[in-house]
Structure formats: structure tokens, C-alpha cells
């Protein structure tokens, strides 16, 4: 009887220990490398790790205010841009080819300070950072230095870079710099939009994109940080080839996975339809392609927007609720980033933001309160 009682007590203490430790471990994305050395943990707000907010960029003087707002939603993740043209405004100052990771094309001068401030401030608030690359520097692709990829008809911002190894060096140095702070990297923003990838208009466009921005980047990422994950292709719901009628799935995602296989750790798309039903259909379409050519690969929707220029604020909140319920109910759909935290056009009083823009008072909309309700952060 005594031994039986001891066994029961031992079992109970073991279970209590495991439950306590399980709660502790659930807070981190990763904590040790294979050699046992410490890696700075990324705090996870379980069980809501699927909730993210697409911020993209923040002015230096607004970092604290906007990240406080992002953290107050209960989201676990933010998505921001690494804009190559601002990080490396000048070409390598010593051009050579030594075959070494990070200096394959010479000695580079990067300025990570702005992205550093956002990443560190986000982590201080318990937010994980997903970093998406975009916009080559004009010296690398001959773009008009004044081009704006977000407005207008000038596609030169997206011109293909002359030497893919410049980008390979960039990715290696980026991953080495942010190792332990960032784990997930978006390979390139919306390559099926000519503003971001102004590639060839013939059947070579996919090969050019993969050779320029994906294949070398994947190897560089692994070399710099074996724990890092490559996310892509970050497709918009627009045309599949720049200035063509081929859609994102038939013109990009399916041939990409069919011919290049499991090149991404996470497959990602965007959806700005203002409809969670439309987003769900596109997510399920992407999943069918994934299961055919790269089964088991995670799926993220890294932008979903509901715009109050087209919807009432109540309808915006309803669409946000719908897309997160769709995410929660599909185990293969592991993250959704709502676009956006704030309106991006300061001249408008409407937009897709959870908050109005800074010029319009930075005021929360009903969708903000809905986000908090879904995550349970207001309880």
C-alpha cells in the first residue's frame, strides 16, 4: 500500500512538473542551438501564434506608438519590410569574387539601423518579427532613383538586378545580422507585380525570378542561420506574369512548386479582396497546389485587407473576424497577417487599417476592438 501511494504521488508530481514546464516552453519559438549555446528566444503568445499584423514600415519617430498599438491587439507577430535600396544605397566598395558567403561580390556597406530599431522594439513588446525583402538599389538594376513602387506607372523599381550574387550576399548578411532575433524571411514582395519584379514578358520570367531571388537566397539563408526559414513567394492576387492575364496560381505558384519543388519552408500569398470568403477560396486553392507538389509545407496568408474605402467599418470588422475563424479552423493554414495596422495614405480618412493614419488622429476602428476580442486580449 505504501509503495502504491508513493507511486501515485510521484506520478502526480511528474504531471504537475510537465504541465508547468509545458507552459514555460510554449512561450518560445526556439531557445537553444544544436551545440547547446543560447539563442535569444522569440516570445510566442500561445495559443494565438497564428495572429499577425502587417506593418511594413514605420517612421523612426512613430516606432514606439505604433508598436505599442500592435502589441495591444494581442497579435503574436508583425510583418515588416527590409528595403534593400535604403539598406545598401551604394555598391560594394571593393568589388571582387572570393567565393565566400557574404562577400562573394565584394565588401558591402549595409545600414541596418532603422530595421534594427523596429525589430528590437517589437521584441521588447513580445512581438515576433517576420521580415520581407523588397526593392533593389538603383545601382543594382538601373532603376530611376526617384521611382515609387507603390504608386504610378514607373516599373523601373522592379527591374531585374544585373548580378544575382549581390542579392545572395544581401540575404546572407541579413540573416547573419538578425540571427537570434528574426527567424522567418520573405524572399521577395509580390514578384507577380511588375512594380516589384519587372521581369521578362516571355516564358523565362519564372526561371529568371528563381535564379535571381530564390535559389541563391535559400542557400545563403541556411549558411548564415541554419534555424532560419524562407517564406514565399508572397504573391499578390493580381496577374501571374507582369502585364499579362495569367493569374497568380496558374502563372506562378503551380509551375514554381512543380519545377522547383520544396524550395520554401512556408508558402505565402496575399489577398486584398475585402472578403474573407474570397481569401478562403484562394487559400484552399494554394493548399491543393502545395499538397500536389510540396506536401506538408506550411501555408501563411501574409496580407489580408478589408478596406473601409469600400466597406463600412462594421463590415471591415466582420471580414477580419471571418478570416481568423477560417484560419483557426484549418490546421494547415498556420498564420494570417492583417493588413494593416494603420492607413497608409495620409490624404484619406478611409483605409484598411485597424487605426486611422497618424494624420487622421491614429484612432482605433471597430476592427481593432474585434481583433482584441478574437485574441482574448481584452479579457
pLDDT of residue 241: 59
Dist. CA 186–CA 337, nearest whole Å: 13
Q: Are 133 and 171 in contact (CB under 8 A)?
A: yes
Running DSSP on this structure, what letter comes out for residue 42?
Answer: P
pLDDT surpasses 50 at 2 = no
Question: What's 321's DSSP letter?
Answer: H
Q: What are the pLDDT digits (tens) for 280-302?
A: 999 999 999 999 999 999 999 99
Q: What's the confidence (pLDDT) of residue 35? A: 38
Beta bridge partners of 268: 233, 300
Q: Which of 24-28, 64-68, 215-219 has the lowest mean pLDDT?
A: 24-28
* pLDDT at 16 exceeding the cut of 70: no
User: Residue 161 has what DSSP assignment?
Assistant: P
Question: What pairs with residue 324 in β-bridges?
Answer: none
Asked if 369 and 356 count as a contact pair (C-beta separation under 8 A), the reply is no
Give the pLDDT confidence of 205-256 residue by residue, as tens digits. Answer: 999 999 999 999 999 999 999 999 999 999 999 765 555 667 899 999 999 9
pTM over 0.85: yes
Please determine, for residue 18, whether its predicted confidence score (pLDDT) is greater than 50. Answer: no
Instruction: Work out the angle at residue 264's Cα, subtended by the Cα atoms of residues 259 and 270, and round it to the nearest 5 degrees.
Output: 100
User: Which residues, in sequence order, are bridge partners of residue 83?
Assistant: 134
Percent of the chain at pLDDT > 90 equals 76
Confidence at residue 261, expressed as pLDDT on a 0 to 100 scale: 92
What is the pLDDT of the chain when averaged over all its residues? 87
Q: Give the percent of the chain with pLDDT over 70.
A: 85
- Lowest mean pLDDT: which of 191-200, 312-321, 343-352? 343-352
Q: Which pLDDT tens digit goes with each residue over 269-280?
A: 999 999 999 999
| pLDDT(101) > 90 | yes
pLDDT exceeds 60 at position 332: yes
**Could you name the CATH architecture of 50-375?**
Alpha-Beta Barrel (3.20)
Asked whether residue 27 carries a pLDDT value surpassing 50, the answer given is: no
Amino acid at each position: 500500500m505504501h509503495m502504491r501511494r508513493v507511486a501515485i504521488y510521484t506520478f502526480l508530481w511528474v504531471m504537475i512538473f510537465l504541465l508547468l514546464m509545458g507552459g514555460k516552453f510554449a512561450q518560445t519559438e526556439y531557445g537553444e542551438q544544436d551545440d547547446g549555446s543560447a539563442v535569444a528566444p522569440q516570445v510566442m503568445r500561445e495559443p494565438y501564434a497564428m495572429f499577425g499584423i502587417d506593418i511594413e514600415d514605420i517612421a523612426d519617430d512613430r516606432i514606439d506608438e505604433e508598436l505599442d498599438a500592435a502589441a495591444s491587439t494581442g497579435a503574436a507577430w508583425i510583418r515588416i519590410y527590409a528595403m534593400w535600396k535604403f539598406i545598401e544605397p551604394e555598391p560594394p566598395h571593393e568589388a571582387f569574387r572570393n567565393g565566400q558567403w557574404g562577400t562573394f561580390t565584394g565588401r558591402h556597406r549595409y545600414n541596418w539601423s532603422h530595421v534594427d530599431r523596429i525589430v528590437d522594439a517589437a521584441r521588447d513588446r513580445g512581438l515576433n518579427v517576420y521580415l520581407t525583402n523588397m526593392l533593389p538599389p538603383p545601382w543594382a538594376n538601373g532603376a530611376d532613383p526617384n521611382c515609387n513602387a507603390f504608386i504610378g506607372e514607373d516599373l523601373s523599381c522592379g527591374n531585374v538586378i544585373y548580378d544575382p550574387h549581390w542579392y545572395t550576399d544581401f540575404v546572407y548578411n541579413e540573416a547573419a545580422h538578425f540571427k537570434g532575433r528574426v527567424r522567418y524571411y520573405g524572399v521577395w514582395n509580390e514578384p507577380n507585380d511588375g512594380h516589384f519584379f519587372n521581369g521578362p514578358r516571355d516564358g523565362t520570367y519564372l526561371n529568371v525570378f528563381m535564379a535571381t531571388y530564390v535559389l541563391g537566397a535559400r542557400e545563403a539563408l541556411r549558411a548564415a542561420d541554419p534555424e532560419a526559414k524562407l517564406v514565399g513567394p508572397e504573391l499578390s492576387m493580381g496577374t501571374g506574369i507582369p502585364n499579362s492575364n495569367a493569374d497568380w496560381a496558374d502563372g506562378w505558384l503551380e509551375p514554381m512548386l512543380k519545377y522547383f519543388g520544396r524550395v520554401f519552408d512556408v508558402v505565402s500569398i496575399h489577398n486584398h479582396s475585402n472578403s474573407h470568403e474570397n481569401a478562403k477560396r484562394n487559400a484552399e486553392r494554394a493548399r491543393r497546389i502545395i499538397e500536389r507538389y510540396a506536401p506538408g509545407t506550411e501555408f501563411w496568408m501574409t496580407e489580408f485587407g478589408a478596406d473601409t474605402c469600400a466597406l463600412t467599418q462594421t463590415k471591415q470588422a466582420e471580414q477580419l473576424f471571418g478570416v481568423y475563424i477560417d484560419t483557426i479552423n484549418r490546421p494547415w493554414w498556420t498564420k494570417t497577417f492583417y493588413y494593416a495596422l494603420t492607413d497608409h495614405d495620409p490624404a484619406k480618412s478611409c483605409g484598411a487599417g485597424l487605426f486611422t493614419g497618424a494624420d487622421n488622429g491614429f484612432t482605433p476602428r471597430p476592427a481593432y476592438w474585434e481583433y482584441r476580442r478574437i485574441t482574448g486580449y481584452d479579457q
